[in-house]
Amino acid sequence: MDIEVLNTKLYTELSGGITMNDFQKEDGNMIVEGYLHDELFNVKTGERKIVHNWEKNLIVVGFSKLVATLFKVEAGYSGLLYWGVGQGSFTPGLPAVSPWDTMSPSQRASVSTTAMYKLYSEIARVGSLVVSYLDVSNNPLTIGQFIAAGNTTVKLQIEATFGTSYSGYFREFGIFGGNANGGLNTGLMIDHKAHAVISFNIDSNEMVLRRVLRLVL
């Protein structure tokens, strides 16, 4: 019997009938999905605006590599550390102009690939991410509750805030871990999303951008 078939058979018997494919999508990728929520807040007027309301993003190969380094307890590697933003593809010298800006959402989504390891054009990143465990109803969980949840689907929520000191034409983002530091294009990127441009604090420094990503594990 082929060793892969034997391993699958053994795993199925030990797991009570659950096959390896039950943990995979049709394309073979593990079932990990990310959803983005963005909210802009004007510190002067108090106005709030939802920019993205739980839109899907793409999990890239860096996710698996980060998990592997954490399993190995690799020295110098940690969990999720920085949220990076980029200008995407733009006309040289004219960051306000980008071919992405005239794309439809589906066309824009096609610029992301699972093989990506960095943003197209990272311009800033923030650290001090707030990471929380959530249950299926998006209620916060303690680590004890998270472990006790057993086979119940749980979520990981990551929050980042870009304050008034940040500015630029935001068209993409990625979250970085592993050996990431405050320098651009460092660390293992776990996800990517190209989105409609957010002209952030271009004319004034009154806006705060709160970004929330929920990973469904």
**Is the pTM higher than 0.75?**
yes
pLDDT digits (tens, 9 = 90+) for 57-70: 999 999 999 999 99
What dihedral angle (degrees, nearest 10) is formed by the CA atoms of 137, 140, 146, 148?
-70
**Rounded CA separation 182/49 (Å):** 28
Instruction: Kindly report, residue by residue over 5-51, the tens digit of the pLDDT.
Output: 333 333 333 333 333 333 334 444 457 899 999 999 999 999 999 99
Query: For position 93, what pLDDT does the model report?
Result: 86
| pLDDT at position 114 | 93
End-to-end Cα spacing for the chain: 33
Burial of residue 174 (CB within 10 Å: 0-12, 13-18, 19+) is buried
* Cβ atoms of 192 and 174 closer than 8 Å: yes
Give the separation between CA 160 and CA 61, rounded to whole angstroms: 22
Q: Phi/psi of residue 117, each to 5°?
A: -125, -5
What mean pLDDT is reported for the chain?
87
pLDDT computed for residue 5 by the predictor: 39
**Two tokens at 102?**
């005239």
Residue 179 has pLDDT above 50, yes or no: yes
Q: Which of 48, 30, 19, 23 is nearest to 207 (CA)?
A: 48
Name the residue ranges covered by the structural domains of the chain.
Answer: 1-26, 32-216
